[in-house]
Structure 1
Amino acid sequence: MVKELESNDGKSLITIINNNYNSMSKGQKLLAKYTLDNYPKVAFMTASKLGETVGVSESTVVRFANALGYTGYPKFQDALQELIKTKLTTVERVEMSNTEYPSDSIILEKVLKDDIDNIKETMETLSQVDYQEAVNLVMSARKVYIMGLRSSIYVAKYLGYYLNYILDDVRIIRMDMGEPIEQMIKLSEEDLLISISFPRYSKKTLQVVKFAKERGAKVLAITDSYNAPISKISDVVVTVKNNMVSFIDSLVPAFSVANALVIGVAMREKDDIKAYFKELESIWEKFETFE
């Protein structure tokens, strides 16, 4: 049975296809049926691959996307990926991995290529204005709180580790230290919460962002889409692509964007950082920290 997939305007994918089905050509109807039956696969298939699988031309695939209201197949594919990312269970992701990685010989190359593609797409879609505003938010905050749940915690720790070299008060929200809101009880309008969230989106992350906004704090969202739950209530959104057909997420682009944020802040504070690391070097030498 096909799951209901809701688009941004509230219409389900099934409804959109059914509303346009009668006006479609024979080839487009074949594509419609295949899409409804295999939407997780279609979301990551090229137009030529989809056409080959269904038995129609690539141009028919493009016209199919147009018939559904998209300006081209990539837009249809992007929308489908965005819709399913939050709905695929871990079991479904494992099943998709079996299809995408049929043999050990291609895993390394394909995983690295997927990470490269995600970085390239992040470069193409991430707004320079949003990036600069993100750096401004970090620079103007009294305290910076950073939160990422599940696998995103590692991006949060990485970002917090390096920002702590530059800024006076950086705090990483940790689940082993109690409820996030308890750790943010002194949060005020002078502070910033950096929230890192990727599908499947955590409800707790959204709850914490809402709490921060109620306290008047600024919120910087690092997530995959402007349509992500936290994006809609954050002050600045930095978008990072993380598509990977697997039960794991591609966090490589998130670490790259974290690097860019750290360096952006560091360049504003380079004189202080130089003095800080000079002092650190003397301490490291005294305690024989490094070989």
Structure 2
Amino acid sequence: MSSLLHTIEEKMGQFSKGQKKIARYIFENYDKAAFMTASKLGREVGVSESTVVRFAMEVGFEGYPQFQRSLKELIKRNLSAVQRMRVTSEQIGDRDVLSRVLELDIATVRKTEQAVSSEDFNRAVETLLEARRIYIVGMRGASSLSSFTAYYFNMIFENVHLVSEDKGSDVFEQIVRIGEGDVILGISFPRYSKKTVRALTCAAKSGAKVISITDSEKSPIAAMADTVLYAKSEMISFVDSLVAPLSLINALIVALGQRKQTEVFATLGKLETMWNEDQVYENIGEV
């Protein structure tokens, strides 16, 4: 049980009659309650809006908005894919899907800009530049992010290893040689992959430095990291929006590329020659 639901359960005996109605509703429908305003939740339960606000304060929050954010964090970490699908209508409503999803993505990028510390970002850059070997791990929904990162890191660094479930070997076998002087970059968002957590734990015990890209301090890969870069990831239906994490990774790649311009220019020059010889890209001619 989450700490929020545990707190509500502990305080059940202290609640007023109306507050007990709210508590019971939240236990049974917290996935719906997370997207309700205080007035809407009050109408649904049959109590006043002020009773809902007092309930939020009674369980330890400054007001209802803070309580609602906690509920959203709860569902983001615990709902199954089927349950996530059910909350879609609460997020999108009757609005145009394209416009609403784009609005949510824009908002997460703005929140990420506020959440990322320049000091932490610069520390991550320096740590990667000093690494003997770089390992990148991100499973499940984050696998696209780890593959993207590894693709461009290979243009910047000589010794990059993508840890993947698709390689036919166990994750631990892929990082068996990791140790001091190495860096592992872990990427994970709700619902957090156990394999990613275990890989980072193993790497840390072996003496490697850990950089985590995740959504909050409550993430299991945040506490074990030497440096954490926070990127917001909002749940949209059964899909996790990874727009903000990708933007953060883009910034990381650009910063590293600027610091290693000579090597990158040389690598790209060789690649262009090979791409042209192998006709990798379609020639669209002059515009």
Contact 2:76 2:235 in 1 (8 A): no
**Alignment gaps of 5+ in structure 1:** none
Contact 2:38 2:52 in 1 (8 A): yes
| Equivalent of residue 117 in structure 2, options 114, 118, 127 | 127
What is the deviation of 1:162?
A: 1.1
The AA in structure 1 aligned to 2:150 is: G
Helix, strand or coil at the partner of 2:220: coil
The AA in structure 2 aligned to 1:137 is: T
Give CA-to-partner distance per residue, 1:17-54, whole Å, 9 cap, x none.
24445665666555434323321122233445545655
Which residue in the other structure is 2:74 paired with?
83
Contact 1:114 1:244 in 2 (8 A): no
Which residue in the other structure is 1:187 paired with?
178
Helix, strand or coil at the partner of 2:195: helix
The AA in structure 2 aligned to 1:126 is: V
Q: For the structure 1 residues 77 and 174, does the alpha-carbon distance in structure 2 shift closer, same or farther, using more than 3 Å as the test?
A: same
Counterpart check, 1:166 vs 2:162: no
Give CA-to-partner distance per residue, 1:135-183, whole Å, 9 cap, x none.
2221121111111111211000011111111111111112122111111
**1: CA distance, partners of 2:45 / 2:35:** 15
Q: For the structure 1 residues 90 and 128, does the alpha-carbon distance in structure 2 shift closer, same or farther, using more than 3 Å as the test?
A: same
Contact 1:189 1:217 in 2 (8 A): yes
Aligned identity (percent) is: 41
What is the deviation of 1:250?
A: 1.0
Q: For the structure 1 residues 18 and 185, does the alpha-carbon distance in structure 2 shift closer, same or farther, using more than 3 Å as the test?
A: closer
Give CA-to-partner distance per residue, 1:229-282, whole Å, 9 cap, x none.
122212111122212241121111111111111112112122332333334334
What is the deviation of 1:116?
A: 1.8
Which residue in the other structure is 1:176 paired with?
166
**2: CA distance, partners of 1:95 / 1:46:** 18
Which range moved further: 116-125 or 192-201? Answer: 116-125
The AA in structure 1 aligned to 2:2 is: E
> Could you tell me the TM-score, scaled by structure 2's length?
0.86
What is the deviation of 1:111?
A: 1.9
> Could you tell me the TM-score, scaled by structure 1's length?
0.85
The AA in structure 2 aligned to 1:215 is: S
The AA in structure 2 aligned to 1:162 is: Y
**1: CA distance, partners of 2:36 / 2:104:** 13
| Equivalent of residue 60 in structure 2, options 69, 89, 92 | 69
**2: CA distance, partners of 1:16 / 1:60:** 18
The AA in structure 2 aligned to 1:227 is: K
Contact 1:93 1:246 in 2 (8 A): yes
**1: CA distance, partners of 2:55 / 2:101:** 30
Which residue in the other structure is 2:257 paired with?
266
